[in-house]
A and B are shown apart, each in its own frame.
Chain A
Amino acid sequence: MTPGPQDPQIVFERELERYLTDQRMTRRQMLARVAAVGAAVALAPVVAACNAAGVTSPSPSAASPSAPGASAPPSATPSPSRSPTPVPSPESELFIYNWDAYIGDHTVADFQSKYGIRVKYDKFPDADTQMTKLRSDGKGGGYDVSYPASTEIPALITDGVLLALDPGLIPNAANLRPEWTSPGYDPGNKYSMPNYWWTTGFAWDPGRIPDDLTSWDALWDIRWKSHMGMLDDQREVFAVAGFRLGLSPNTTSETDLDAMLAILKEQKPLLRKYTDDDIGDVTSGDLWISHAWSGDWYQMIADKPKTKYVVPATGAVRGNDTMVVLSGAKHPIAAQLWINYNLDAQVSANNTNYIGYMGPNAAAEALIDPAITGDQRLNPPQSILDKLVELLYLPPADLDKYTKRWTELRA
């Protein structure tokens, strides 16, 4: 292969060299192109997510039972049994997402054996993780049932994360006490059923603090410096400042919030921590006194029986959480069966007896341990109930007023 085809060979060589040179030159372009593709790939889901959110949000109160199906993005993986079948025969599986140790110890097992439904029960460590997961795909992150706080419900409904409940599948809703049949966050319980309710007061160790504390002022007492805790929860902390100053914990007034921030700034140097674990920090002895949830106090006394708790008479937060079916639920019938089951008088009483949070269930009351129903700290009398305030959902512009001050306080 020498003389004759010399020219073409040289041409070939040149072509090859040129090709390589071109390669080198285009590599930069290729990098640019790769970057562009990368950006496009990266941006697509962001934009898509924004668009999906934009599509779902404008139609909040078109809340017919078909709404969640309609609001689910068409590109989503089709789930075979989303819409309730005419004959409600429950599916064979159920995916639940709840707090750890937040239900009667044999409720899940009893449900499984009664209905032959296999329950997969996942737990989350804090409400922020829960919300991130449930909102990850805009329809519940693959779960059928979860337990959001009541304050989350309006936004979850608006965003199409929840499935409208079928009242026909939840006859035990009749067990609810009258004040829970149409709560402010979800009139008529169309999308959620109340689960537990509680108060936010403060707990203390009488071994360290023998005083009989009754007022929020105790959380500003310099004597407990370095042994005092507040919950790591911006709305709850501002609520305490509000009760101390006689201001609403749902205020959106900048002046009110500045006043709250001012006394919280006075309090901060006295604090040991803003705690995520009021139970552990009080029972371990690090905190002598801590802002705490009533149910957490009930768990503290398991380890430290003398721990005290008070709901100050000037006012406190009443919170509740809910049971919901998620719009992406693959087992909606089983999910509503589960909710109905947990509204049963005996099951509801079992749940309360195990963890100490009061339920909204009138029929269950006779079956609850008198040590719980008779304890004013867990089941406050009407005079205190009248002073309790529900934290309301705040739209972003108003929540920002809190966040701005909360981050300033924490920094």
Chain B
Amino acid sequence: MAAPPTPAGAAGVNGTAGAAGTTLSPAVAAIRVPFVNRLAGIVLILPGVLWLALFFLAPLVIILVVSLGTRDAGGHITLANPGVQNYIQATRPEYLPAFANSLRYAGITTILSILIGYPIAYWISRFGGRQKILLLILVMLPFWTSYLIRTYAWMIILRDNGVLNSILQAVGLTNDPIVFLNTDFSVILGMTYGFLPFAILPLFVSIDRMDHHLVEAARDLFASGRAAFLHVTLPLTMPGIIAAALLTFIPAIGDYVTPDLLGGAQTTTIAKIVQVLFTSGRDWPYGSALGFLLMVVTLAGTLLALRTLRREVLA
């Protein structure tokens, strides 16, 4: 969406230059300027393209190539007999529970992040006043500490003899410690905690950018607060909600650290299976295939969801 202006603009200038006809120097100048612009554009985009090529495209291609390979008797990757056998292996039905866990955790995390993040973003935008920036900094404050350390902090809070159980026992709500850690609960809690800021920021941008006069107009026309929210605010901030959902769901489905540290024997995700294949299984081709497949499924699912959403909500 951001890309079209440059070529279109350049074409427009070219067009006018052509129409200017035979007066030569301006014509030459008119042509020369976009050329320089184009050059400048290329120079500007070059670092980004190089970066993506080196650190996104290249690893992706490596994974793809490795996933088509096999291992020789000594365990070394070889491309002697390339094929899709790893992909066939990767679709083992035995992995479905782990895949279902990944989907479930990512889905619930996304919904919770939006449900919790939306009111926060709304409040900061509408009532933050001069403190808006400060409040946004507070939202991002957790990033100043390593995610790993914050996850360990959750372990200390949620352990059987941890902070939460101590409080519950002191208050008399429970005698025996409740098992919080290494459960679905702790995984979803940890992931929602971790991804919440990624939901709040795009939500804030879309809410803050919305013209609030439209809500006032709706109220003037006798819309209830609820109706105004449902028919004005919500549709107008839908792009923010979609952005928040994507920014939460996509990293959440591949999240390895949180389920591994806060999860337990019953919370295995597909990312853990990939890790096992790479490390103790020493089967990089197989692990690559499963990882690549996961990425393709995520991408396809995301595009499909986006399309449906756009058709239904933004049309």
A39 to chain B, nearest CB (A): 6
Closest Cβ neighbor of B49 among chain A residues: A34
Interface positions of B from 56 to 81, Cβ below 8 Å from A: 57-59, 61-62, 65-66, 69, 71-79
In angstroms, Cα B182 to Cα A230, docked, is 13
A233 and B280 in contact, given A49-B77, A395-B73 (Cβ under 8 angstroms):
yes
Count A-B pairs with CB separation below 8 Å. 152
Contact A271 B74 (CB under 8 A): no
Contact A38–B98 (Cβ < 8 Å): no
- Is B281 interfacial (CB-CB < 8 Å)? yes
In angstroms, Cα B285 to Cα A396, docked, is 12
- Max chain B C-beta neighbours (<10 A), residue from A43, A269, A410: A410
* Residue in B31, B57, B283 whose beta carbon sits within 8 Å of that of A13 in the complex: B31
Tell me which of B22, B31, B61, B276 contacts A39 (CB under 8 A). Answer: B61
Cβ B62 vs Cβ A46 within 8 A: yes
Question: Chain A residue with minimal CB distance to B156?
Answer: A284
Chain A residues contacting B32 (CB-CB under 8 Å) are: 16
**Least CB distance, A225 to chain B, in whole angstroms:** 10
Given contacts A46-B66, A271-B264, A396-B282, contact A411 B94 (CB under 8 A): yes
Contact of B272 with A410 in the complex, beta carbons under 8 Å: yes
Chain A contacts for B264, CB-based, 8 A: 271-273
**Which chain B residues lie closer than 8 Å to A230 at the CB level?**
265
Q: Say which residue of A13, A34, A284 sits within 8 Å of B28 (CB atoms).
A: A13
Q: How large is the interface on A (under 10, 10 to 19, 20 to 34, 35 or more residues)?
A: 35 or more
A285 touching B160 by the CB < 8 A rule? Answer: yes
CB-defined contacts of A410 to chain B, threshold 8 Å: 98, 268, 272-273, 276
A30 to chain B, nearest CB (A): 10
**Interface check A286, CB cutoff 8 A:** yes
Q: How far is the CB of B45 from chain A (nearest CB, A)?
A: 12
Residue-wise, chain A 19-40 has the 8 Å CB interface mask toward B (1 for contact) of 0100100000000001100110
A115 at the interface (CB under 8 A from B): no
Answer yes or no: A171 CB below 8 A from chain B CBs: no
Q: Chain B residues with Cβ under 8 A from A395's Cβ?
A: 73-75
- Is A128 located at the chain interface by the 8 A CB criterion? yes
CB-CB < 8 A to A47: which residues of B? 79
With A and B bound together, what is the CA distance between A1 and B29 in angstroms?
14
| Beta-carbon contact of A285 and B161 below 8 Å | yes
Contact A41:B58 (CB < 8 A) given known A1-B25, A20-B14, A285-B159: yes
If A6-B24, A46-B65 touch, does A403 touch B72 (CB 8 Å cutoff)?
no
Which of A16, A42, A285 sits near B58, CB closer than 8 Å? A42
Find the B residue at minimum CB distance from A399: B282
Partner pick for B280 among A17, A39, A50, A403, CB 8 A cutoff: A403
Q: Which residue of A lies closest to B77 (CB)?
A: A50
Are A54 and B76 neighbours in the complex by a CB distance under 8 Å? yes
Question: Given A20-B31, A39-B61, A273-B264, A50 and B277 touching (CB < 8 A)?
Answer: no
Flag whether B303 is at the interface (Cβ < 8 A).
Answer: no
**Across the interface, do A406 and B31 meet the contact criterion of CB distance under 8 Å?**
no
Docked complex: B253-295 residues within 8 A CB-CB of A: 263-266, 268, 270, 272-273, 276-277, 279-283
Q: Provide a sorted-by-A list of 9 A–B residue pairs whose CB atoms are within 8 angstroms.
A: A9-B24, A16-B32, A17-B14, A53-B77, A268-B266, A396-B73, A396-B74, A408-B94, A410-B276
7 further contact pairs, Cβ within 8 A, besides A235-B280, A272-B264, A408-B95: A2-B24, A6-B24, A10-B22, A42-B58, A285-B160, A396-B74, A407-B273
